Amino acid sequence: MVIDKESPLPIYYQIQESLKEKIKSGELRPGDKIPSEHELCEQFNVSRMTIRQAINNLVKESYLYRKRGIGTFVQQPKVEQRLQGLTSFTEDMEARGLTPTSILISFEVVESKKSVADALAIEEGTPVYRIHRSRLANGEPIALEWAYIPVTLMPHLTESVVHRSLYNYVEKELGLTLGRATQTIEAALATEVEEKWLEVESGDPVLIVEQCSYLTENQPLELVKCVYRADRYKFITNIERTDNTSPM
């Protein structure tokens, strides 16, 4: 691309859009390393500050990511999840042609704390499974998950089941029917634990989703807190305008 220095568009923006177009067209593919700042300076005949601003903007927009001491690379497209329908992580990834896997960090029975007990409509101190997993798509960490399930609902739950789809186990092996779920989503900054398992930097943005799933009898099934990498995941929903008109 030839930079038009007479254009009202800033030079850094022209370079930024040139690189973005190469990514969108497939000329630069996910995982490709882009030229160094020095090489881009020579290619476009501009200052390093101009190149750095263009790259910083593309990193912020999640088109690129940096590996410290190695270089800058094209980012994988974000995983999209529509906030419609009750689906599992496994189902979501498979629907997008990705291979879901999990790393089981811990699997234990604990006494429920008040916040967990209230969400699951059980007495405080009632035994619950606490399942801590790292969730991956095509081998890349996407989310870090903590799930709480009343032991009385699944007295024979094992680690081998947890490694698979829990919803599949609930519906096909236990014969229970999933009904609905409530979700809250908020933004936060990565903690030390999340840095380790999500392979992010200190202070990187994450999305925290807390979900309580219910059976068709309106009985709480599980409470899940899931921390997603904000650079790899986004949520989509359709919103319709309601009729707020009122007669004069």
- Calculate the alpha carbon distances from 248 to 110, 242, 243 in Å: 59, 18, 14
11-74 has which fold?
Arc Repressor Mutant, subunit A (1.10.10)
Residue reference for tokens 């799933």: 213
Long-range own/partner contacts, residues 60-64 (CB < 8 A, 24 or more apart): 61/20, 62/231, 62/232, 63/19, 63/20, 63/23, 64/19, 64/34
Q: Tell me the domain boundaries of the chain.
A: 11-74, 79-236
**Cα 89 to chain center, whole Å?**
10
What pTM was estimated for this model as a whole?
Answer: 0.69
> What secondary structure letter does DSSP report for 35?
P
Tens-level pLDDT at each residue, the chain (248 residues): 667 777 888 999 999 999 988 888 888 888 889 999 999 998 888 999 999 999 998 988 778 888 778 889 888 776 666 666 677 777 777 777 778 888 999 999 999 999 999 999 999 999 999 999 999 888 888 899 999 999 999 999 999 888 878 888 999 999 999 999 998 999 999 999 999 999 888 888 899 999 999 998 899 999 999 998 887 777 777 767 766 655 55
Residues 6+ apart with CB under 8 A from 122: 112, 128, 150, 220
- Domain over 79-236 is classified CATH 3.40.1410.10: yes
Which of 80, 89, 41 is CA-nearest to residue 62?
80
